[in-house]
Amino acid sequence: MPRAIISPSVLASDFGQLTAECKRMIKGGAEWLHMDVMDGHFVPNITMGAPILSCVSKSVPGIFMDCHMMVAEPEKWVNDIADAGGSLYTFHHEATSDPLSLIDAIHERKMKAGVAISPDTPSTAITDEVAEAADMLLVMTVYPGRGGQKFIDRCVPKVTELRARFPDKDIEVDGGVGPKTIGVCADAGSNVIVAGTAIFGAENPEQVIAMLKSTVNDAQARIAKK
Ligand SMILES: O=C(CO)[C@@H](O)[C@H](O)COP(=O)(O)O
């Protein structure tokens, strides 16, 4: 049964705050830290790249960096992100023509490989071969590009479809996920939860992390009994 993993999407305005928030989230129960890498091409924004991630991994020992590569040429950054200490390298299905070779390249550098689909990409775009080679599938529940957007409900059936096809795979949801939307995500079968605004905007982030986690674990137990 896939276990609940909470991966806060770290929001920070400087490096000191970034590392402090990562440490606070780990202390507060987060297993992973979701690092949004945006290149200004695949998405309009530019965020951080390998040099920042390298500093984070050195400053936060033991961190699991869940690197979400919102980039136009995901093949280009595998070595840099691996050298920077990336743990999971998730690329967008829409950004590559050869996902299997990319997954091999990611595994060669000892990172886990994730495949993301944007809201307009159907779950069937992820073939059985690609899903089986990958360690995680990411269903975006907003258009990639920035935090704080409204959860798109019509993306949820894609989680259900992928969970039915791949009962043991880690399935991540990302975008507008929080206490109001976790129920449908968990019931659909997602077990890796990314949340930015819902965690960082809360008075008590630890409570939100615990609530997200218990909702997923309860849903997974129900799904396993069916
Ligand atoms: O990558 C993205 C959006 O592009 C997400 O990781 C968001 O940054 C998550 O933030 P919230 O939607 O939870 O505020």
pLDDT in tens, the chain (226 residues): 899 999 999 978 899 999 999 999 999 999 999 999 999 999 999 999 999 999 999 999 999 999 999 999 999 999 999 999 999 999 999 999 999 999 999 999 999 999 999 999 999 999 999 999 999 999 999 999 999 999 999 999 999 999 999 999 999 999 999 999 999 999 999 999 999 999 999 999 999 999 999 999 999 999 888 7
Is 11 within 8 Å of 196 (Cβ atoms)?
yes
Cα-based distances in Å from 9 to 21, 47, 59, 102, 110 = 10, 12, 18, 24, 23
Domain boundaries, the chain: 5-225
Query: Which residue numbers belong to the known binding site for a divalent metal cation?
Result: 34, 36, 68, 174
What is the domain class of 5-225 according to CATH?
alpha beta
Residue 95 main-chain phi, psi, to 5 deg: -100, 0
pLDDT reported for residue 66:
98
Q: Which atom of ligand 1 is nearest to the CA of 198?
A: 13
Task: Report the relative pairing of strands 192-195 and 5-8 from DSSP bridges.
Answer: parallel
22-49 exposure pattern, b = at least 16 Cβ within 10 A, e = fewer: beebbebbbbbbbbbbbbeebbeeeebb
pLDDT reported for residue 1:
84
Query: Which residue numbers belong to the known binding site?
Result: 9, 34, 36, 68, 145-148, 174, 176, 196-197
Around ligand 1, the residues with Cβ closer than 6 Å are 9, 34, 36, 68, 142, 144-149, 174-177, 194-198
pLDDT reported for residue 114:
98
Per-residue DSSP letter, 2: P
Residue 226 CA to ligand 1 centre (angstroms): 32
DSSP characters over 28-50: TT-S-EEEEEEBSSSSS-B---H
Residue 191: closest CA among 208, 167, 175, 165: 167
Q: What type of residue is 112?
A: K
Q: Which atom of ligand 1 is nearest to the CA of 197?
A: 14
pLDDT reported for residue 137:
98
CA 190-195-200 angle, to 5 degrees, is 155
| Whether the model pTM is above 0.95 | yes
Mutation probe of ligand 1 site: the residue of 45, 146, 181, 199 with most atoms within 8 A of C-beta: 146
Specify burial of residue 172 (Cβ count, 10 A radius: 0-12, 13-18, 19+): buried
| Structure ipTM | 0.97
Residue 219 CA to ligand 1 centre (angstroms): 23
